[in-house]
A and B are shown apart, each in its own frame.
Chain A
Amino acid sequence: MVIIFIQLFMFTMYTKILIRDLRFKRVDLLFFIMNLGVTLGMTKFGQLAVIIGGLIAFLIYLLLLTKSFKVSIAIAAIIYCIEILIDHLVDIIFRIMKLDENSWILNSSILMLGIILAVGLYFFLRSDLEHNLQRDYRLSSTEMIFTSIILIIMIFLITVTEVMQENNLQNIIYNSAIILLFAIMFVVVHIARTKAINKDLELREQKARSESTNRYLIQIEQHYNELRKFRHEYQNTLLSFEEYLRTDDLEGLKKYYNTSIKPISVDLNQEKYKFEDIGRIGNKEIKGVVFNKLYAAQLDGIKVSFEAKNEIKDFYMDSLDLALAMGIIMDNAIEETRNQEHGTIQVGLIKSETEIVIIVQNSLRKNDIPVWKMKEAGFSSKGSKRGFGLKNLTEIINRNNRATLETMKLNNYFLQKITISTKG
């Protein structure tokens, strides 16, 4: 009787750990009662019936909790493996040491071992998840189903052999060894997989970075060529000037100035090199994100500008965090402006004695939506995706105490501003 309670307790405990929600729910109580009833009711039909009945009750409980059939089966398989392993280990030790099997020592050692394993599992999962939060690390459906099937077959084989052949020591040792080996194998595969994915991510990041550097180089080359052309023209102009002056032809000079020089100087004023100031950002990540987003916006037909009067090397906060935050902000701006006929995005980095201000301002179509609603639903109809970005943005700002965020709607502009205090 006590052993049933212990088992139920461990089932719930492991489930809670695996689904990473430790709160107590009403479903838990339901499961306890349901499973207790099933177990007691099935006892007269033999051990196998008890196991199958318990399993079904457990699956229903998991389905209620996770609302996913796939996940329920996987969790059930894992927990059964752990249970069998604990049970077997304790059993083996007791038989070898010839201890009394029905004493309270057996129950409490099972409980102890279970709790120790659970704590270990909890910390393993926590550290594993903290490091591998990205989507790429998640198991695919096929991987999950395949692993679950292997585990189920194994559990089935073990249970059936043990029920049919009485629980003799040799069998139990073999089975435990098999489960242990499987467990080790899974852990090894998991670690190897994580490493491979890490490497893959790194490669992808490198590729993206080198692509952005390439684009930047091409832009610079273009500017350089324009500059060379301009120098050439300038020299020619000077030569003509000299000629007019040498011959004292003031009338000719006037005419030449008005027809040839003036139009060029107007041209020069019209086109300020849009990305010229990017060179003043002394941080690769920030430079990369600003350049790439503005470049992408430009390709979408949005008029962009960037300004930074001062050289900025130190941003006084984690530059990866800042790059992420700016990426989200600029994505918002692009998302909003993309479908406007004459969309503009202006980005500015302003450094003063006590703060660095990053401003992203974009044109806005007339609407009466208040800012809090825009923030909640996101900018576009693709609400949920954007909302995630803004939630991330708030999180990033919150974990960097020097940074504050501002979101304003002004006439026909939308303004997003990050202020980083550089004092103290």
Chain B
Amino acid sequence: MRVIDVYVCEDDPKQLNQVVEYIENYLLIENLDMKVQIATGDPSEILDYLNNNEIDKSLYFIDIDLGENNINGIELASKIRKIDIEGKIVFITNHSEMVFLTFKYQIEALDFILKDYPEKIQGRIIEDINLCNKQFEMSASDNEEYFQIKTGELVRSIKVSDILFFESSPVPHKVIVHLKDGQFEFYSMIKRIEDENESFFRCHKSYVVNVDNVESVNKHTREATMIDGEKVLCSVLGTRTLVKLKK
């Protein structure tokens, strides 16, 4: 197993040293398989390194306000995201710079640490190191199947077991995917989706269902009921095939 690389970007040298010290102390005590690869005040140093080296597992601590540098921490983080999809990003910020939704949904940050409470920073850094370790371990032992959906810049990985069905939108080239906990639209074609996974079956010209998540099929009304109770229309042929598939 390769080590997890830690990167820190903070423009204030004093705070940079502080954060690095917290991290290195903890790594030393716990003898964790991690090392601080880069600690810098210059965001381009991290980007250069990422662009020129092979990267595996990484944890980033990024300050939002990078002072004189021409990009801020959020921009740095989204640039990192493009190179390193799996990396764990933690923001270090003060309250007035908090942009909670941006951290969570644009960057998919692991956490954010508030500078306003200096006494809590160390504890939080330790928590995040542990959380990062745990998540990487889990994804290594994870044999869940994933379905990748490109929405804008991000590629979303969705567990196939969470997918109930796909529905074509009245608007051409838009497909609505229905999940266990919600639904969203993305640009694709329903006829392309069936072949993407062997659990998917096109039961109607505008529906592709995940056969594993079909609860029951009603032959008379020609409807498939999903495990969350939502009903999906089926064609004559689709009903027959789906009944056979469910046996």
B51 within 8 A of A: no
B152 within 8 A of A: yes
Task: Write the nearest CB–CB distance from B48 to chain A, whole angstroms.
Answer: 20
A307 within 8 A of B: yes
Task: Write the nearest CB–CB distance from B50 to chain A, whole angstroms.
Answer: 18
B151 within 8 A of A: yes
Query: Do the beta carbons of B152 and A309 come within 8 Å of each other?
Result: no
Interface residues of A in 159-197 (CB under 8 A from B): none
Query: Do the beta carbons of A372 and B230 come within 8 Å of each other?
Result: yes
Binding-face segment, B16-24, B26-34, B99-107, B135-143: B99-107
B96, B178, B179, B185 interface centre (most CB from chain A within 10 Å): B185
Tell me what chain B mostly uses at the interface: helix, strand, loop, or mixed: mixed
Choose from B101, B106, B181, B185 the contact partner of A409 (Cβ within 8 Å): B181
Q: In which size bucket is the chain A interface?
A: 35 or more
B170 within 8 A of A: yes
Query: Do the beta carbons of B182 and A408 come within 8 Å of each other?
Result: yes
Query: Do the beta carbons of B99 and A270 come within 8 Å of each other?
Result: no
B123 within 8 A of A: no
Query: Do the beta carbons of B184 and A355 come within 8 Å of each other?
Result: no
Query: Do the beta carbons of A270 and B185 come within 8 Å of each other?
Result: no
Residues on the A chain within 8 Å of B157, using CB: none
Choose from B95, B106, B171, B230 the contact partner of A270 (Cβ within 8 Å): B95
Query: Do the beta carbons of A398 and B169 come within 8 Å of each other?
Result: yes
A323 within 8 A of B: no
Interface residues of B in 162-185 (CB under 8 A from A): 169-171, 174, 178-185
A212 within 8 A of B: no
Binding-face segment, A48-56, A109-117, A236-244, A346-354: A346-354
Task: Write the nearest CB–CB distance from A239 to chain B, whole angstroms.
Answer: 25
B196 within 8 A of A: no
Choose from A269, A347, A404, A408 the contact partner of B151 (Cβ within 8 Å): A404
Choose from A307, A404, A409 the contact partner of B184 (Cβ within 8 Å): A404
Query: Do the beta carbons of B106 and A371 come within 8 Å of each other?
Result: no
A213 within 8 A of B: no
A348, A371, A397, A404 interface centre (most CB from chain B within 10 Å): A404
Interface string of B132-164 (1 = CB under 8 A from A): 000000000000000000011100000000000
Q: Which B residues have a C-beta under 8 Å from some C-beta of A?
A: 74, 78, 94-96, 98-102, 105-106, 116, 151-153, 169-171, 174, 178-187, 228-230
22 contacting pairs across A/B (C-beta < 8 A): A269-B96, A272-B95, A307-B98, A307-B99, A309-B74, A309-B99, A346-B101, A348-B99, A348-B100, A348-B101, A348-B105, A352-B153, A353-B153, A357-B152, A373-B229, A401-B174, A404-B151, A404-B186, A406-B184, A408-B181, A409-B182, A421-B187
Given contacts A347-B101, A348-B105, A353-B153, 8 further A-B contacts (CB under 8 A): A307-B99, A361-B101, A371-B181, A371-B182, A371-B183, A407-B184, A408-B183, A410-B181
Q: Which A residues have a C-beta under 8 Å from some C-beta of B?
A: 266, 269-270, 272, 305, 307, 309, 346-348, 350, 352-355, 357, 359, 361, 370-373, 397-398, 401, 404-410, 415, 417, 419, 421
